[in-house]
Chains A and B, each alone.
Chain A
Amino acid sequence: MKKTPKCTYTVCMACGICVQACPVSCLDLTDNNRDKYKKAFPQLDNEENCIGCKICEKQCPVGAIIVA
């Protein structure tokens, strides 16, 4: 099975660093149904585009993303 980014929402700050770091722009801050403030978390908007490069994982300042 293809390895893709997985976000731990209780850790994620929704800062968008992973979104801007992604070289193929397959992540976006769109998942806004998990938080009482309607915070928008990163979501893979196109799994096929993900190249599994792990840049999002490396760039996340709080370790909220793993590519697995």
Chain B
Amino acid sequence: MKGYTGKILFVDLSTQTTEVIAIDEAVYQQYLSGIGLATYILTKTIPQGADPLGADNVLGLVSGILTGTGSFMTGRWLAVCKSPLTGGWGDANCGGTFAPAIKQCGFDGIFFKGMSEKPVYLYVDNKRAEIRDASAYWGLDACEAEEKLIQDCRVTKKPQVALIGTAGEKVSLIAGITNDFGRIAARSGVGAVMGSKKLKAVVLAGSKPIKGADFEGMSQASKKFADKVRKQNLPKFAGNLLPAMGTLASKTKDTAPADGMLVAGMLKTFGTAMNNTMALTNGDAPIKNWKGSSKDFGKKQFKGFNPLVINKKEFKKYHCYSCAVGCGGICDINKESQGRFKHTHKPEYETVNAFGALLLNTDQDAVLYLNELLNRAGMDSISAGGAVAFALECYEKGIITTADTDGLELNWGNTSAIIKLVEKMIARDGFGDLLADGVKVAAAKIGRNASDYAIHCGGQEPGMHDARLDPLLGVHFSADPTPGKHTVGAGLYYQYMHLWKYCSWAPALTKHPKAEEFLPSDEEALKSIANSCYKMILDGAGGCYYGMLIGNEHWNVVELLNFATGWELSYDAYMEIGKRVHTMRQMFNVREGINPKENIMCKRMAGEPPLNAGPLKDKTVQIDEMVSLHWKHFGWDQNTGIPSNETLKSLNIQELYEGGQK
């Protein structure tokens, strides 16, 4: 076996036992590792109708085929489970240094079923897998607990730890799983599932080698990639030009494919903060709970989020495992947190916008503080920001008053009230408890038309990118079996990926996203399908989303997979695997009673009613028609989103569903 270990570890927390299970090579050839292996295992092991927070749910932490094989941009791991937030398929993706640690223990994935009566953690090294008492760590935030676990568990090799913070312990449905002192697999409520099982942490200290098939081929590809990345250096003053670049981008009609290596340069210099200001001028960033425009949050308001300002606080770059780019950083926040925290991972654009423009908050120091607070609690900053925005709008509309909010005056941009509300959400205290399970649950509890202001896709708060700028993004928000994720696909991503040069059926780039892509068409549907299939390859490989954006011409995931496995499969063959895995995730949702139509993004996100100012003025997205065409071209029923028996058969997965819908 090359690139994968051929084994998984299955842990039953109810019986406190562990079992090593061998996985046949054919499984990897059919589904890849990572998300593909996880989809196969969860389909077979989670009983239909399982309570997401019950013993029957299975939580998997999986690594990808390319991780540890000498390839760059392949240090991602995934947490997978039935999501308590959406009721369907759940996955969350994370970087840091945990991904190789899974394989260094000799496994492609570690899966948990059952529930422990008392807090426990799992310890694994080269020789043993032990379930240990976690009472000394329960109640600690994720950073405190990680530090203590590393100290207590270290024998020779420093262990890598994935764990929940207090939000996961309190089973907040927007809790994630963290590693590396603040990186977080944030989405789908995976931390709530871990918390429901009373599993505080997974501590991995293995040092087994990870082998690929063609070391020389991989080495040459990596050296070539590194040479290109080294040359990508932007002057720092470019940070001041980003808003103008955003304005220009919103007006250009250029249809030329973009060179993704430019993205590498931007990420090296600014990280995802490159989007902090640019997204506000081009319309990518949602403002004021998705109803505002640049009139509400313009140059004067966003100046504190200039990446140059944030870079001044950065004292060290941070690279995830095997990353040649290094978009992360560590920032000094001793002053900003009034001495409470020394430093924080540089806030991602998602966090900055979720606690900036989405709430009309102009206080950059508050965002840095909230970033660390949420990372330590292990709470998803996208969902948390969405929940606060929902509360602010309910307050504005008079649906809730200070009598409901424990006295907090939830006006737009009221920074001190926003901070207090987040602290309450983490502690599940008073009104914060109501918001700690996301906007859909909160709206149902509040009633009184509150659901009109709950911005979500199938229960999950969407990422901080606007489909009124990029309609294909809306298709992925709506049609991905994990709805609301911004990291699956978009017209812009497609422009960078250059898939049409490698995949025989992926359409070439001929249209401009600001105009023609707003019209649903078969061609647009094929693009979104290509994006979806590619993302499954990426998540099976353990690849980074920025590898995807840097594009196939520079970082060809299929070529790397063949170096790692020795399979010599074509690009189309891998895309077929992607289609299979994606369809299985959809089948998981169908089996669990999810109506795919209910995952379609809400009307406000589609521009109904349209905005009356800013770059998205009068933009609407025909999302129902676009999703319908996406389903149709996937071989799913275009009215219901249910994969047809013919499609299941053609993908050779019909047996998993007893000939149809189980």
Say yes or no: A13 contacts B321, CB within 8 Å. no
In the assembled complex, 20 residue pairs joining A and B whose CB atoms fall closer than 8 Å, in A order, are A13-B324, A14-B317, A14-B319, A14-B326, A15-B324, A16-B322, A20-B100, A20-B101, A24-B157, A25-B156, A25-B158, A29-B319, A32-B317, A37-B317, A40-B318, A61-B70, A61-B222, A62-B223, A62-B226, A63-B223
Say yes or no: B315 contacts A32, CB within 8 Å. yes
**Bound form: Cα–Cα A40–B323 in Å:** 12
Interface string of A23-50 (1 = CB under 8 A from B): 1110001001001011110000000000
Residue from B154, B219, B226, B269 whose CB has the most chain A CB atoms within 10 Å:
B226
* Chain B contacts for A61, CB-based, 8 A: 70-72, 218-219, 222-223, 226, 322
- B97 located at the interface, meaning its Cβ lies under 8 Å from any Cβ of chain A in the complex: yes
Among A19, A23, A25, A62, contact of B222 (Cβ-Cβ < 8 Å): A62
By beta carbon, the residue of chain B nearest A10 is B230
* Chain B contacts for A29, CB-based, 8 A: 319
By beta carbon, the residue of chain B nearest A31 is B316
- B229 located at the interface, meaning its Cβ lies under 8 Å from any Cβ of chain A in the complex: yes
* Chain A contacts for B207, CB-based, 8 A: 23
Interface size on A, residues (CB 8 A): 23
Say yes or no: B322 contacts A15, CB within 8 Å. yes
Say yes or no: B104 contacts A20, CB within 8 Å. yes
Rounded to whole Å, the gap between the CB of A30 and the closest CB of chain B is 8
- B314 located at the interface, meaning its Cβ lies under 8 Å from any Cβ of chain A in the complex: yes
**Bound form: Cα–Cα A55–B104 in Å:** 13
**Bound form: Cα–Cα A15–B318 in Å:** 9
Interface size on B, residues (CB 8 A): 36
Interface string of B55-72 (1 = CB under 8 A from A): 000000000000000111
- A4 located at the interface, meaning its Cβ lies under 8 Å from any Cβ of chain B in the complex: no
* Chain B contacts for A32, CB-based, 8 A: 315-317
Known: A15-B319, A25-B156, A37-B268. 17 other contacts (CB 8 A): A14-B317, A15-B72, A15-B322, A16-B319, A17-B70, A17-B322, A20-B321, A23-B156, A24-B157, A32-B317, A35-B317, A39-B326, A61-B70, A61-B222, A61-B226, A62-B223, A63-B223
By beta carbon, the residue of chain B nearest A37 is B317
**Bound form: Cα–Cα A51–B279 in Å:** 49
By beta carbon, the residue of chain A nearest B220 is A61
Residue from A13, A22, A23, A59 whose CB has the most chain B CB atoms within 10 Å:
A13
**Bound form: Cα–Cα A25–B157 in Å:** 5
Say yes or no: B321 contacts A38, CB within 8 Å. no
By beta carbon, the residue of chain B nearest A62 is B226
List the interface of chain B (C-beta within 8 A of A).
70-72, 97, 100-101, 104, 154, 156-158, 160, 207, 209, 218-219, 222-223, 226, 229-230, 268-269, 314-324, 326, 329
**Bound form: Cα–Cα A22–B154 in Å:** 14
Say yes or no: A59 contacts B97, CB within 8 Å. no
Q: Which 3 residue pairs are nearest across A and B when measured between Cβ atoms?
A: A61-B222, A25-B158, A23-B207
Rounded to whole Å, the gap between the CB of A56 and the closest CB of chain B is 12
* Chain B contacts for A23, CB-based, 8 A: 156-157, 207
* Chain B contacts for A24, CB-based, 8 A: 156-157
Say yes or no: A38 contacts B70, CB within 8 Å. no
Say yes or no: A16 contacts B316, CB within 8 Å. no
By beta carbon, the residue of chain A nearest B205 is A25
Say yes or no: B317 contacts A20, CB within 8 Å. no
**Bound form: Cα–Cα A17–B321 in Å:** 6
**Bound form: Cα–Cα A37–B157 in Å:** 29
Rounded to whole Å, the gap between the CB of B263 and the closest CB of chain A is 16
* Chain B contacts for A20, CB-based, 8 A: 97, 100-101, 104, 160, 321
**Bound form: Cα–Cα A63–B216 in Å:** 12
Interface string of A2-22 (1 = CB under 8 A from B): 000000000001111101101
Say yes or no: B322 contacts A38, CB within 8 Å. no
Among A13, A25, A38, contact of B315 (Cβ-Cβ < 8 Å): A38
* Chain B contacts for A40, CB-based, 8 A: 316-319
**Bound form: Cα–Cα A31–B259 in Å:** 32
* Chain A contacts for B268, CB-based, 8 A: 37
Say yes or no: B323 contacts A38, CB within 8 Å. no
Rounded to whole Å, the gap between the CB of A26 and the closest CB of chain B is 10
Residue from A15, A23, A37 whose CB has the most chain B CB atoms within 10 Å:
A15
**Bound form: Cα–Cα A40–B319 in Å:** 8
Rounded to whole Å, the gap between the CB of B303 and the closest CB of chain A is 23
Rounded to whole Å, the gap between the CB of A38 and the closest CB of chain B is 5
Say yes or no: B316 contacts A38, CB within 8 Å. yes
**Bound form: Cα–Cα A59–B319 in Å:** 17
Say yes or no: B317 contacts A38, CB within 8 Å. yes
**Bound form: Cα–Cα A37–B307 in Å:** 13
Rounded to whole Å, the gap between the CB of A14 and the closest CB of chain B is 5
Say yes or no: A15 contacts B317, CB within 8 Å. no
Among B97, B104, B226, contact of A13 (Cβ-Cβ < 8 Å): B226
Say yes or no: A59 contacts B317, CB within 8 Å. no
**Bound form: Cα–Cα A29–B219 in Å:** 22
Q: A20-B97, A25-B158 are in contact. Are A38 and B314 (CB under 8 A)?
A: yes
* Chain B contacts for A17, CB-based, 8 A: 70, 321-322
**Bound form: Cα–Cα A47–B97 in Å:** 23
**Bound form: Cα–Cα A16–B223 in Å:** 15
**Bound form: Cα–Cα A16–B97 in Å:** 8
By beta carbon, the residue of chain B nearest A28 is B158
**Bound form: Cα–Cα A59–B68 in Å:** 9
**Bound form: Cα–Cα A19–B160 in Å:** 12
**Bound form: Cα–Cα A55–B320 in Å:** 19
Among B158, B209, B321, contact of A16 (Cβ-Cβ < 8 Å): B321
* Chain B contacts for A37, CB-based, 8 A: 268-269, 317, 326
Rounded to whole Å, the gap between the CB of B440 and the closest CB of chain A is 38
**Bound form: Cα–Cα A25–B314 in Å:** 25
By beta carbon, the residue of chain B nearest A40 is B316
By beta carbon, the residue of chain B nearest A51 is B156
**Bound form: Cα–Cα A35–B101 in Å:** 28
**Bound form: Cα–Cα A19–B314 in Å:** 22
**Bound form: Cα–Cα A19–B158 in Å:** 10
* Chain A contacts for B156, CB-based, 8 A: 23-25
* Chain A contacts for B219, CB-based, 8 A: 61
By beta carbon, the residue of chain A nearest B314 is A38
**Bound form: Cα–Cα A62–B315 in Å:** 26
**Bound form: Cα–Cα A22–B209 in Å:** 10
* Chain B contacts for A16, CB-based, 8 A: 97, 319-323
By beta carbon, the residue of chain B nearest A39 is B317
**Bound form: Cα–Cα A15–B319 in Å:** 6
Q: A20-B97, A24-B157 are in contact. Are A13 and B314 (CB under 8 A)?
A: no
